[in-house]
Structure formats: structure tokens, C-alpha cells
Amino acid sequence: MTIILGLESSCDETAAALVTADGQILAHRLATQEDAHRPYGGVVPEIAARAHVEALAPLVEAALTDAKMTLADVDVIAATAGPGLIGGVMVGLVTGKALAHAAGKPLVAVNHLEGHALSPRLADQNLQFPYLLLLVSGGHCQLLRVEGVGQYRRLATTIDDAAGEAFDKTAKLLGLGFPGGPAVEKAAAKGNPRAVPLPRPLVGTDEPHFSFAGLKSAVMRAAQSGQYTVEDIAASFQQAVIDCLLDRTRRALAASEGVTALVVAGGVAANQSVRGALTTLAQDHGLPFVAPPLWLCTDNAAMIAWAGAERYAAGMTDDLTIPARPRWPLDPTAEKARGAGVKA
């Protein structure tokens, strides 16, 4: 059985995992940087890169120890090669290259977004291509038709902020702390989702894409008005995001004949209210709803190892000259979205 060592360091989580080609997670180790970034209310790239340098090698050793293996037992090295904070991406990719070279193992350079896109297949071995994926994270908000390994057709993206980015900025505006997504979700559970009149950008329009910058600005004005509680603003914001996600996903489903499932992945997919709304949407369209367990939604190395396994099985490996990339679209042929620039 092929064993893949996965390395993840694209943002503020450092992780190493060992996964088999049939989806067994033999070991997973993760180091968070939340305490280091909390005083700044967001991720500081230089701090993140230095923390990856310190944490990654011990995590690899710990994962191998947990699995009672050595590097010689590993068949493939998979490392995130982008997109992400370039300093962190370089730490993981250079480590992966060094291990592959030293041990004489093949290297698979993994697109972090592909890690998220394929992670539902690690969680549900029965999930078949093609499926409609809502990828919602701190840096990305996209709808993709996943047709196979390395085969993605982008149907929509954000023209400004990503959904997770909007959660983080809302948390900062409301003084809820870092990381923002869980903080907003916790506060929203105590609030009234209809208390604050907030916009639903692009809902009901022919525009296929997402937009959250205007919603973030409306949250700021609501907070400055002093008319609403923090909990009510958080709940109203979360409901507005859900309404936007549902409307855009519903539109994409109408243009996606033959998909086997509605799938969600990325850090925002850990939000229980988002999951509940998408479950209902899938049921309304007669489709199964597939979401990885919560820990597989946030950044982790198991999804990178699994994407490496899928790519390796398809004959996709990389040489040691492959570069780290701060931007790396899953669908490079997709037309640029209005206002998105290179971010799309």
C-alpha cells in the first residue's frame, strides 16, 4: 500500500501527516500559531514563516514516530506549493524537496486549493466525480465543478473579499478576537439573525460571483451606530453570508447538470450554520451533501497527503525545480472576474 507523507505550511498552520492510498490516516500532527498572531488581530506573514521553520521538522519526526515508521517506509512526499503566504509555502516545499531528494522518493507539489477540493473524497470514499464544490476559506470563495483530479472548471469566485476574510474582519470590528470565524459563530449563537438590516451583495442578480466587501462595510457602520448588540450584529452578519452562499450556489447548481453531489470544503465549512443551510439546499435539489469532518475543513496535512495520493495514482509527479507560488488558480482558463484582478 502506497504511503504518502504530506506537508502543509501555506498560512498559519504547520502540519505533517501520513496517509495511505486507500484513505487511512496513519498519523497527523499540527502546530497552530494562534497565540503568536492574536495580538495583531490577523496573520503576520513574517511571524508565520519563522514559526513554520521551527515547527515543521519536529512535526515530521513526530508523525513518523506516531505511525511507527521511518522515512524509508514512505513512498511519496507531497507538499503544498501554493497558493498562500509565499514565505510559509517556501518552507514546506523546500522541506518536501529535501526529503524527497535525500530519501530518493517522488515529489508531488500540491495546490492547496486542490487539497481542499479533494478532501471530501478522503472523508467519503464513495464520492464520485463530477461534483459541485463550494470552496469557502479565509483567502478564497469559489464554486467549482470538480470533474477529476487536476480537472476543475470554475463557475464563480469572489470579486473582492472571501467569505472567511469577511468573518475575520467582522470579528476584528466587533472586538471578538482571533481567529475570527469561530469567534463570530460563537457570538452569533446568542444573537438575533434578523436584528440588523444588512445587505446581501449580488443576491438575485445574473452575476455568478460573490462579493462581501460591502457587507463588511455595513457591519462596520452597524457597530459604529451603537444601536445593536455585538451578538445581534454577529448573527445578522452570519445570516447574510449564508444567504449569499445559498443564492450563488443555487445558481451554480442550475448550470451544473450531472453532478453527483453538493460538496463544501475550506475553513468556513466548519461553521455549523453554513453546513445546515447547505444540507437543506442539497436536499432540495435531490443531491447528497458531502462535507469533511471539521478538522479536515481547516488547513491540515492529511488533505495535502491525500491530494498527493490522488495525483500520484494519476501519474502526476514533479521534479525538484518546481517553484513555490503565491497565486495558483485551479482553473487557469477561467475568465477573470470583474474587479478580482490577479486574485481570481
Is residue 185 part of an annotated ligand binding site? yes
Is residue 139 part of an annotated ligand binding site? yes
β partners of residue 145: 132, 153
Is residue 26 part of an annotated ligand binding site? no
Residues 240-286 pLDDT 10s: 999 999 999 999 999 999 999 999 999 999 999 999 999 999 999 99
Calpha distance 188→180 (Å, rounded): 12
Is residue 126 part of an annotated ligand binding site? no
How many alpha carbons lie under 13 Å from residue 310 in its C-beta half-sphere? 23
Q: β-strands 141-148, 131-136: how paired?
A: antiparallel
Is residue 168 part of an annotated ligand binding site? yes
Coil/strand/helix, residue 185: helix
Do 337 and 49 form a contact (C-beta atoms < 8 A)?
Answer: no
Do 309 and 19 form a contact (C-beta atoms < 8 A)?
Answer: yes
Is residue 116 part of an annotated ligand binding site? yes
Helices and strands (H and E) in the chain: how many: 11, 10
Would you state the cell numbers that stand for residue 302, as one nine-digit string? 492529511
Is residue 10 part of an annotated ligand binding site? no
Is residue 138 part of an annotated ligand binding site? yes
pLDDT at 343: 52
Would you state the cell numbers that stand for residue 197, as one nine-digit string? 438590516
Is residue 60 part of an annotated ligand binding site? no
pLDDT at 342: 45
Mean pLDDT in runs of 10 for the chain (344 residues)? 97 97 98 92 93 98 98 98 97 98 98 96 96 93 97 96 93 92 97 98 94 95 97 98 98 95 94 97 97 93 98 98 96 81 48
Calpha distance 163→168 (Å, rounded): 9
Between 163-174 and 230-254, two packed helices, what is the crossing angle to 10 degrees? Answer: 170
Is residue 148 part of an annotated ligand binding site? no
DSSP string, 300-323: -SHHHHHHHHHHHHTT--B-TTPP
Is residue 181 part of an annotated ligand binding site? yes
How many Cβ atoms sit within 10 Å of the Cβ of residue 41? 15
Domains of the chain: 3-120+296-314 (3.30.420.40), 129-294 (3.30.420.40)
Element (H, E) at 7: strand 3-8
